[in-house]
Amino acid sequence: MTDILNKTEEIVTKAKKLGADEVVAKTTIGKYRQVRFSNNQVDITVAWDDYVTDVALAWKKRVVATQIHDFKDIDASIKQLLGLAKVSAENPMFGGFANGKFRYPKSNADSKLEDLDSPTELVSEAISAAKKEIGPKIDSGGILFTKFEDVYLVSSEGPVGFDSRSAIELSIRAFAEQEASGHGVECSSTLKGFKPARAGTKAGEIAKLARNPKTGDDGAYDVIFDPLILGSSLGVWGGMVSAFNVMIQMSVFVDKIGKKVAPEIVTLKDNPAAYSMSNRVFDDEGVPTKENVFIDKGVLKTYLHNASTAKMFKTKTTGNAGLVAPNPWNIEMEAGDMSKDELFGEVKKGLYLTNTWYTRFQNYAKGDFSTIPRDGIFLVEKGEIKKSLKDLRVSDNALTMLGNIAAISKERQHVHWWAEADPPSLSPYVLIKNVHMTKSK
Amino acid sequence: MDEAIVDYALDYAQGKKVDYAEVRGQSQVQDRLMLRNGMLEAYVSGVDSGFCVRIIANGGIGFASTNKWSKEEAKEIVDLAFKYAKGAKRKDKLVFAKEKGFKTKWVVDQKKKIENVSPEERISALSEVDKALASCGVKVPATMSQCSIDLTTKYFVNSEGSRISSFVPKIGAFIFITVAEQGKTEQAYEQFGYSGGWEAFHEWDIPERMIHNAKVLRDVITKAKAVKAGDMDLICGSEVTGIAAHESCGHPMEADRILGREMSQAGRSFIYKGGKYWIGTRIGSNVVTVVDDPTIEHSYGYYPYDDEGVKARRRFLYKNGVINEFLQNRESAAKLGTTSNGSSRSVNYDREAIVRMANTFVLPGELSEEELIGDVKHGIYMKSFTEWNIDDKRFNQRYVGREAYVIENGELKHPVARPVIETTTLKFWTAVDAVSRKVEFDAATCGKGDPGQGIPVYTGGPCIRLRSVFVK
């Protein structure tokens, strides 16, 4: 550990000696494993062993970055990077990397995930659970992914830190018929907290209910969003509070700090807490991460910042620095006061959507977009699932939908799926009124 | 890249009880620069280099990769991939379709070598876009411009005698703009891509393209009328034709998707065994022929040999409106009792090669664009698109127009704001009654795989005319 930290520090020291004003170096030694399966069988098992040092340096407000994959290349890489800075162009808005000395809490990374070399049995558990729901005609596929990273960070501006980050996730899609499917996910930072059967059961339950779907009608509906599909919306709203996205107008939240953007029941936070797949004790500038409430009881409180964007917005970094721009780590929607069943009971006639993909915007600043629900889509009447539907699209507005949240469940689930429900989130069931659905004609 | 270590890894793998082994070394010089409102936000440059091993043993597949170039590491990842392959415990054993091995070397030529273009010149060239927009008479309050360069060296070897070395330089650009007029905003982006040298950057004439886009967006705010929804004729410009070809022909024709291997991520296909659609089923009118062709020199998706060492060729996906040929790699081809057609691609040494498109486009017809428009009594010309998507069986799609005009009695009239076609793959391609003669391409990054493998492709085609479709 000390050796890697010393080598990371050497990069910073050498860059400073060569004339860099500010330098941050972060070395990640990663061990990643994945099992991909389909048709209820393993297709491929994959291992990636990787190490990389991300280096960002500033010279007279010129910001350049590189990745070093071999410590033998330090001298040449740093010289080249500084050379690049010297012929680069000034960014007058650059406000510097974060400075200060920080103490970080000890990482809770699970070393069992470092040693988990053959996780195929966990996949079998999920498939078996889905099979219990659907029966022998099940067709299922998905991935199991594990991560264990040791991260060493040194900044010329003070921060020095070590973090271990572990995660495990399973995503399973189960089919009861060609057009009747359900999707379940299970995510955790520890093996102990990981229950693959839960994901299988959920996928199976939805698939079973989704049998014999009929094409739905377009129109405006009250819609219950399952935690998985809400995870996609949380990713959209969370991404749009990144100060960088606000600056390039890829956000509905431009000039809305202090304004009401949602009803009072809505509180959204970014929180890379210990349970989260994206748990971390510091950001990419070495600033301790923390819980940041960005929508508090419906009012937009802050954007997510690194040190430089914080300076531009005359505020403090929120500990969300990525290599170039600030990002959310793990979004949480505060739990509501209704049970899931009570929330369903609020719906006289509406829809229950379980998953979506392919979210695309016409205009990020206005928020007009569409997304295509997949897996179970259900007609709900008087709180009960009445019918399985298919071939409907949500065609609405991101800000309007945030404003139309009418109820939030007590139950929440930690979800993450591919690039569609990303970053990870702690997501409840949510009722959104007057959601516009369209279909092919 | 150390080719000797790649060879060593293959030798070591062949010493085990493997049915098949391959090793792919890949080194990628990557250069990314990003401007925000004309200012350099960041310049990221580096080399990513490593190798992977894929092994078939006991009917299972194992894959392992590393970025540490040593013989010890090679042995470790071979052992790991072998262990994973044997541990798969599949009921039906995986095999690869038989293919010929090749010993060859290929490179993509550059007129102006990217390596000889200084960072200052790259920054300066990209800055011209913002300078042009600043003086074009349209209010553009926000821009984000990116330029990417990838110099990729690969060395592929397998246990069937293939030894293929390659070098591909690629250049790309992405521009996103926001236009504000009368208190309203509109947004657009354009992507550019080329396999070859720096010469492409100037040929694209990005400043002119983005000025045109800015003016289009201004007109959408200030002049465009809403569409009166109903059945009408629709002319799709090449950009719209291309995205439709990619989404509702290329993707559903990927054999791994048809077989269910991508079911939990990119999804399945409306084409499946025992279903309504299969090879030989009509899916469009007889003027519709959609091909995928990796062999177009200097295209963004160019390659003469795929990442399994199979020689690439043009694939006729929909031929005269009929489902004709799926995109195959060696695994899918074996399952379907056919041969690979060279569709296996990977973005880096640490990703398995999977079935991908290259350059997907509609083949041209004989009419001019004017002739297509001239025969429309009432309709819309959707020249380009903004929001789009398609369901995961690739049947229900939606394209929203960015630059679009009303057609009355064969003439283009006023612009229309955000016309929408939301229809099925069958209805879309069946409605096509005419195809123009000029094919144009657009660069795109196609998403698939987990972890994601965004891969460079072209989408394209001529203008196509759809009769009597619902536009809103």
Q: If you write DSSP's letter for every residue of A344-373 in order, what string do you get?
A: HHT-SEEEEEEEEEEEEEEETTTTEEEEEE
Question: For position A423, what pLDDT does the model report?
Answer: 97
Q: Do A138 and A252 fall into the same domain? A: no
Query: What is residue B440's predicted lDDT score, i.e. its pLDDT?
Result: 97
> What sign results for the dihedral spanned by CA atoms A312, A328, B144, B219?
negative
CB contact burial A300-309 (16+ within 10 A = b; e otherwise)? bbbbbbbbbb
- Averaged over A348-362, what is the pLDDT? 97
The per-residue pLDDT for range A315-337, each reduced to its tens digit, is 999 999 997 899 999 999 999 99
Residue A1 has pLDDT above 70, yes or no: no
> For residue A133, is pLDDT > 80?
yes
Q: How far is B297 from chain A (nearest CA, A)?
A: 31
How many Å lie between the alpha carbon of B32 and the closest alpha carbon of chain A?
10
Q: Are A219 and A240 in contact (CB under 8 A)?
A: no
Same domain, A190 and A260: no
B218, HSE (Cβ side, Cα atoms, 13 Å) = 14
Locate A238 and state its tokens.
Answer: 């969370």
Residues of chain B predicted below pLDDT 50: none
* Two tokens, residue A293: 């409430």
Do both A195 and A110 map to the same domain?
yes
Whether the ω angle into residue B451 lies within 30 degrees of 0, i.e. cis, is yes
pLDDT at A74: 85
For the residues of A103-167, what is the DSSP string, one character each? Answer: --PPP---THHHH---THHHHHHHHHHHHHHH-TT-EEEEEEEEEEEEEEEEETTS-EEEEEEEE
Q: What is the pLDDT of residue A76?
A: 85
Flag whether residue B272 sits within 8 Å of chain A, measured between CB atoms.
Answer: yes
Residues on chain B touching A366 (C-beta within 8 angstroms): 185
Record: contact A175-B263, CB cut-off 8 A: yes
Q: What rounded mean pLDDT belongs to chain A?
A: 95
Contact A419 B447 (CB under 8 A): yes
CB contact under 8 A, B447 and A48: no
Q: Which of A157, A182, A209 is the last residue of a domain?
A: A209
The reply to whether residue B264 touches residue A143, judged by beta carbons under 8 angstroms, is yes
Of A209, A227, A258, which closes a domain?
A: A209
pLDDT of the residue at A89: 80
The answer to whether B424 contacts chain A (CB < 8 Å) is yes
- Containing structural domain, residue A311: 214-438
- Give me the mean pLDDT over the A56-66 stretch: 92
Q: Domain B3-222 carries which CATH code?
A: 3.30.2290.10
Identify the CATH number of the domain in which residue A63 sits. 3.30.2290.10
Do A348 and A314 share a structural domain? yes
pLDDT, tens digit (0-9, with 9 covering 90-100), for B5-51: 999 999 999 999 999 999 999 999 999 999 999 888 888 888 899 99
pLDDT computed for residue B42 by the predictor = 85
What's the rounded Cα separation, in Å, for the pair B345 and B338?
A: 19
pLDDT for position B89: 85
pLDDT at B41: 86
Q: Is residue A69 very low, low, confident or very high in pLDDT (cuts 50, 70, 90)?
A: confident
Q: Tokens 């103490």: give the residue.
A: A103
Rounded to an integer, what distance in angstroms lies between the CA atom of residue B141 and that of residue B108?
Answer: 39
In this complex, the residue of A50, A362, A441 whose CB is nearest that of residue B423 is A441
State yes or no: pLDDT of A180 exceeds 90: yes
Contact B67 A52 (CB under 8 A): yes
The number of residues making up chain B comes to: 472
Contact B264 A141 (CB under 8 A): yes
Residues in A closer than 8 angstroms to B267, CB to CB, are 357, 374
Question: What residue of B is the nearest CA neighbor of A142?
Answer: B264
Specify whether the CB–CB gap between A364 and A248 falls below 8 A: no
Nearest CB to B87: which of A63, A118, A141?
A118
**A231 shares a domain with A169:** no
Total number of domains constituting chain A: 2
B387 vs A362: CB contact, 8 Å cut-off?
yes
For helices B119-134 and B206-222, give the axis angle rounded to 10 degrees: 30
**How far is it, in rounded angstroms, from Cα B301 to Cα B303?**
7
Instruction: Please give the pLDDT value at position A2.
Output: 80
Tens-place pLDDT, residues B200-223: 999 999 999 999 999 999 999 999
pLDDT at A71 over 80: no
Q: How far apart are CA A309 and CA A302, in angstroms?
A: 12
- The answer to whether residue B229 neighbours chain A at the CB level (below 8 Å) is no
Note the pLDDT of residue A92.
85
| pLDDT, mean of residues A40-53 | 92
Structure tokens that stand for B329 in this block: 């790699």
pLDDT > 90? residue A401: yes
Q: Kindly state the greatest CA–CA separation across chain B.
A: 73
Distance separating alpha carbons of residues B197 and B190, to the nearest angstrom: 20
Residue extents of the structural domains in chain B: 3-222, 230-471
Using a CB-CB cut-off of 8 Å, the residues of chain B touching A374 are 267, 391-392
Bridge partner list, B319: B322
Q: In this complex, is the C-beta atom of B174 within 8 Å of any C-beta atom belonging to chain A?
A: no
Could you give the CA distance from residue B53 to residue B64 in angstroms, rounded to a whole number?
Answer: 5
* Subunit contact B49:A171, Cβ cutoff 8 A: no
8 Å CB contact of A69 and B47: yes
Average pLDDT, chain B: 96
- pLDDT for res A70: 78
Cβ of residue B28 closer than 8 Å to a chain A Cβ: no
Kindly state whether residues A126 and A249 are assigned to the same domain. no
pLDDT tens per residue, range B339-369: 999 999 999 999 999 999 999 999 999 999 9
The CA distance from A421 to A234, in Å, is 8
Task: Label residue A91 by pLDDT band (50, 70, 90).
Answer: confident
A395 with A246, same domain: the answer is yes
In terms of DSSP H, where are the helices of B254-311? Answer: 255-258
Mutation test of the interface with chain B: which of A28, A42, A44, choosing the one with the most B Cβ atoms within 10 A? A44
CB contact under 8 A, A247 and B62: no
Q: Point out the domain boundary residue: A166, A188, A209.
A: A209
